[in-house]
Amino acid sequence: MKNNKKNYYIAVDMEGLPCVVGTYGAGVTESSPCYQIARREATREANAAARALFESGAETVVVWDNHGTGINLIYDELDERVLIVNGAGSKKRFPEMDSSFAGVIYIGYHAYDTPYATLAHVYSSTAFQYQKVNGKSVGEMQIDGAIAGRIGVPVIFASSDDMCIAQAKESFPWITTCEVKKCLAWGSAMSKHPKAVENEIYEGIKNAVANISDCELYKFTEPFEYEVRYKRTEYAIGSSLRSYDNKPFEVVDAYTRRGSLMIPEHIFEF
């Protein structure tokens, strides 16, 4: 895909960072012993990505702090040239991104629910057991990628653990990746040294930009079948999801709802 655009969007999560394993049963929260490590490393990796992008000719680089409350990075330590999106309350993914952007970079993303995958979940580790599109499990990378694809922006790079990287390569065969740790369990991993990871991200993103013409747009069929399994029955009962024909989602069982949506943004209208 020909791409002469100069704007880039860095989406920063935390579970897929090196040496970040969270707290058993709670993930990466402000009370987690790993949280301060995660804040610093996410900031450094965002900087490595931004530096590579600017050195590759980027004009605008947006850093989106999208973990949890959206207030995690150490903002005054970010590259002064970037724009910063943070905070919570909006269900919109990729705020202010439009078709003028050349590519999306995933930093610190994680696998969808998979045996032994470190900190695996989809958007909320307390609300959802899984989410499926057209019968196949998907995670935040796939849903976010489909939203970006509808805007006209390809996913060009991802850094994460080995299981998340395998999922990324399956969904985005063209993607450049950086594997930062090997999953051992939901709360355990063997990581590369953070500084080594930052260097790999810098080099990887330079390579991704150089080969951006090989990247494609990732999209779901429209409409697509969407199935969500909640972790508590009251969450399923309270779901307000409706199919594109305005019919309530099918009650598959006490925890699961299924219906048809026209665009991936509608997944967040729960």
pLDDT cut 70: percent of the chain above it? 100
The CA distance from 252 to 256, in Å, is 5
| Per-residue pLDDT, 26 | 80
Query: Residue 113 has which token pair?
Result: 């629910």
**How, if at all, do strands 188-191 and 176-185 pair?**
antiparallel
Residue 103 has a pLDDT of: 98
Region 17-42: what's the mean pLDDT? Answer: 91
pLDDT digits (tens, 9 = 90+) for 75-120: 999 999 999 999 987 779 999 999 999 999 999 999 999 999 999 9
2, pLDDT greater than 80: no
Decide which of 54 and 92 is more confident.
Answer: 54
Of 53 and 270, the structure prediction assigns the larger pLDDT to: 53
Cα angle 196, 38, 129 (rounded to 5 degrees) comes to: 115
pLDDT in tens, 116-157: 999 999 999 889 999 999 999 999 999 999 999 999 999 999
Task: State CA 110 to chain mean position distance.
Answer: 7
Mean predicted confidence (pLDDT) in 205-209: 99
Strand pairing category for 128-133 and 60-65: unpaired
**Span 7-111+139-214 CATH architecture:** 3-Layer(aba) Sandwich (3.40)
Which tokens go with 95?
């705020």
> Domain boundaries in the chain?
7-111+139-214, 224-268
Q: Which pLDDT score, from 0 to 100, does residue 24 have?
A: 79
Which tokens in the block code for residue 106?
């995933």
Alpha-carbon gap, residue 10 to 167, rounded angstroms: 19
Asked whether the bond before 264 is cis by omega within 30 degrees of 0, the reply is no
225-242 mean pLDDT: 96
Q: What are the angstrom distances between the C-alpha of 127 and each of 65, 131, 230, 239, 256?
A: 21, 11, 6, 11, 12
CA distance 243 to 247: 5
Whether the per-residue pLDDT at 160 is higher than 70: the answer is: yes
Please report the pLDDT score of residue 22 as a whole number.
Answer: 79
CB distance 180 to 18 below 8 Å = yes
Side-chain half-sphere exposure of 159, counting CA atoms within 13 A: 32
What pLDDT is stored for residue 270 in this prediction? 66
Strands (E), 186-263: 188-191, 224-230, 250-251, 256-261
Q: Enter the DSSP assignment of 114.
A: -
Whole-number pLDDT of residue 199: 99
Taking the alpha carbons of 142, 56, 73, 195 in that order, is the dihedral positive or negative?
Answer: positive
Mean pLDDT of the chain: 96
Give CA–CA dist 1/214, Å, rounded.
Answer: 6
Query: Phi/psi class of residue 264: alpha, beta or left (left: φ > 0; alpha: ψ in -120 to 50)?
Result: alpha
Q: Average of pLDDT values for 241-267?
A: 97
pLDDT at 180 over 80: yes
Element (H, E) at 142: helix 140-151
